[in-house]
Amino acid sequence: MSSTTDKVSGKVNEIAGKAKQMAGKATNDKGMRAKGAAQEAKGKVQTAVGKAKDKVKGAVDRM
C-alpha cells in the first residue's frame, strides 16, 4: 500500500471505530464498543504507518 492509501484507510477505520463505540454506548452493547475501540486502534496504526512511509520517502529523496 502507498502511504496515502494507508493514511486514508487509517482515518476511515478511526471514524468507523468511533461510530461503533458511540452506537455501542447508546445501546449499552459492550461487544460493539470493544469492536469499535479495536477498529479505531487499527486505524491509528494504519495512519502512523502511512506517516512513517512519508518520512522514509522524504529522507531517501533528500539523499
The domain ranges of the chain are: 4-61
What is the C-alpha separation between 5 and 51, in angstroms, rounded? 11
Cell 487499527 found at: 42
Cell numbers at residue 22, please?
458511540
What is the C-alpha separation between 32 and 43, in angstroms, rounded? 16
How many Cβ atoms are within 10 Å of 51's Cβ, its own excluded? 14
One pLDDT digit (tens) per residue for the chain, 63 residues: 799 999 999 999 999 999 999 999 999 999 999 999 999 999 999 999 999 999 998 888 888
pLDDT at position 1: 78
The three-class DSSP label of residue 53 is helix
pLDDT at position 48: 96
